[in-house]
Each structure stands twice: as C-alpha cells, then as structure tokens.
Amino acid sequence: MRRVDLHTHSTASDGTDDPAALPSLAKRAGLAAFALTDHDTLAGLPAARAAAEEIGVELVAGIELGAWQRRGEMHVLGYFVAEDHPGVNRTLADLRRGRAERIHRTVERLVAAGAPVAVEDVMRIAGEGSPGRPHVARALVAAGHVGSLQEAFDVYLAEGRPAFVPRRELSPTECVALVRRAGGVSVLAHPVTVAAEVLEKEVEALARYGLAGIEADHPRQDEAFRARVRALAKAHDLVVTGGSDYHGGAKPGVAMGAGDGSVAVDYAAIEELRERL
Ligand code: AMP
Ligand code: FE
Ligand code: FE
Ligand code: ZN
C-alpha cells in the first residue's frame, strides 16, 4: 500500500508547522503524497510545493472550508484547486477578514467572561495564518486562564460556551461551488461533526450537487462510524477518503499520515478523486 494523507494544516491556518516543513514530515511518515488543506487559505501551497519537489513527495493542492456551525459543524475539503483564480481568492480574502473581525468579538466576550486576552496577542500567535479559535485557545493558555487547549474550548470557545462567536461562512453548496470554480473536487470532511440526524440528508443533497468524496478514516471517527460512512459513499457514489487532520502541536497525539494510529489511506483515493475532476 502506498500511503497518503489527505488532510493536514500548517501555520498558514491553525497548524503549528511551517508549510515548507510538512513535506519532510510526510516523507518521514513514509507517505507517497499528502494534501495541505488549510482553513480558508491557499497561502501555504507555494512553500509546501517547493519543498515537496525538493524532497520528492507529491503535494495535492487543497483547502478546507467551513460550511456551517448549526447541528454540529460541516467542513468541506477541496483538492486540485488552482491558487491563482482572482474570484476565488477574493472570496477567500473575505472569509479571512470575517475571521479577523470575529477574533475581536471573541476577545470582547472573553473579557466579559473574566478571561481577558489581547487581540494583538491572538494575532501574533496566528502570524500570517488565517486566524481561528485554536489561536485564541493558545492565547488563553499563555495568559494562564486555562491549563490546556482543550480546556480553552470546553470552558470558553466551543459552541454554546460564553466566548463562542459564529464564523462568517459559506453554505455547503457554496463551498462545493467555490472549489469547482477553483478547478477542484470537494470532499466532506470528518462527517462525525455533522449531527447524526441530518447527516444522511445533507450527504444526499451535496452528492446531487457534485460532492466527490467523504472522509472515512479520521482520528475522531471510530470503526463503527467509518462503516456507516462507507455505506453512505456506496449509496451516493462517493470516493472514500481519509486523513489525519494533522495540526502539529495544536493537536497533540495526531501524527502526519497516521493520526492516532487508526488512519491509513491508500494512494488509490487520490486517483479516484482525480477521475472526478
Ligand atoms: P475555527 O475555524 O476558528 O472555527 O476553529 C475550528 C478549529 O478549532 C477546528 O479545526 C479544530 O481544530 C478546533 N476545534 C473546534 N471545536 C473544538 C473543540 N470542541 N475542541 C477542540 N478543538 C476544537
Ligand atoms: Fe483547524
Ligand atoms: Fe475540519
Ligand atoms: Zn482540518
């Protein structure tokens, strides 16, 4: 089996590894290929590609888009996306502006909740990356308000907690359309985050709209859930994919190419996705 990882993040979004560092990690993990799928940005791809070519590992140009945060979260992955489409890049810049504004509102709520952090600190942690809750979580740990990133989510940042602010987001079909506009194919990320009672209906609607695949292997999905995903894929003619959702130090215990040890994706997934282009 030639292994691949179709879901990874870098400092271009909320991962902690430089995009140029990911290819050597992929190589060391024994992977033939990996996809960089940063949230709402393509900015890490040029550096990742240069390093991938030098090291001799295949890079799939990817992205992860947030589709909604109701009844769970729906995320859509895009693969084989063009980086130079002006309309696509305008939309992505809009989404990132929304993320930056959201940091301000999140910080206001943290102040009100008695856990003040500075917007500047969050933005410094985010650096060039598209800012998100994991950066706020790191600021909360650094300020001593919580002991861990997970505690930051559990106490303040998760949906339903006092500092949760919804993200500006595209609808699921807008995500698929944006990926298509960039010349790519779409895959439903970690379907376990979609509320169970709406999953089937959402997958059916998205498949009709041109969704190409769905993630089965993912650290947050157990074997029983993966079996359900494979059945859904079969019913709606979707490619079964998977990935670690590697975030470096932002997700301890999740390794490139393997996740928690339960993720093993064959190169065939990339070939099948390419056939859907
Ligand atoms: P954002 O894009 O700012 O909404 O942040 C989403 C990211 O935060 C996800 O990609 C996860 O890495 C992380 N995340 C979301 N919810 C949780 C949670 N309940 N516990 C830990 N991490 C989470
Ligand atoms: Fe993330
Ligand atoms: Fe995601
Ligand atoms: Zn992800």
Helices (H), 70-144: 86-112, 119-126, 133-142
Q: What residue's CA is closest to ligand 1, atom 5?
A: 133
Nearest to 165 by CA among 120, 92, 107: 107
Handedness of CA 202, 208, 210, 211 (dihedral sign): positive
Reported pTM: 0.96
Site to substitute for ligand 1 among 65, 125, 133, 136, most atoms within 8 A of C-beta: 133
- DSSP one-letter string for 17-79: S-GGGHHHHHHHTT-SEEEE--BT--TTHHHHHHHHHHHT-EEEEEEEEEEE-SSB-EEEEEE
- Which residues make up the environment of ion ligand 2, defined by Cβ < 5 Å? 14
Among all ligands shown, which has an atom nearest to the Cα of 37? 4
CA of 72 to the centre of ligand 3 (A): 11
Report residues of the chain scoring pLDDT below 50.
none
- Give me the pLDDT at residue 168, please: 85
CB 220 within 8 A of CB 242: no
Whose structure tokens read 């990339």?
A: 270
Q: 19-34 as b/e, with b when 16 or more CB fall inside 10 Å?
A: bbbbbebbbebebbbb
- Give me the pLDDT at residue 72, please: 87
With a Cβ cut-off of 6 Å, ligand 1 is lined by 39, 66, 132-134, 150, 153, 158, 167, 247
- Which residues make up the environment of ion ligand 4, defined by Cβ < 5 Å? 64, 245
Handedness of CA 6, 219, 12, 78 (dihedral sign): positive
Q: What is the pLDDT of residues 138-164, one digit of tens each?
A: 999 999 999 999 999 999 999 999 999
- Give me the pLDDT at residue 147, please: 98
CB 137 within 8 A of CB 157: yes
CA of 131 to the centre of ligand 2 (A): 10
Q: How far apart are CA 118 and CA 74, in angstroms?
A: 29
Both tokens assigned to 122: 């969050």
| Bridge partners of residue 78, in order along the sequence | 63, 186
Both tokens assigned to 42: 């393509």
- DSSP one-letter string for 167-230: PP---HHHHHHHHHHTT-EEEE--GGGB-HHHHHHHHHHHHHHT--EEEEE-TT--HHHHHHHH
Terminal CA-to-CA distance of the chain, rounded, Å? 24
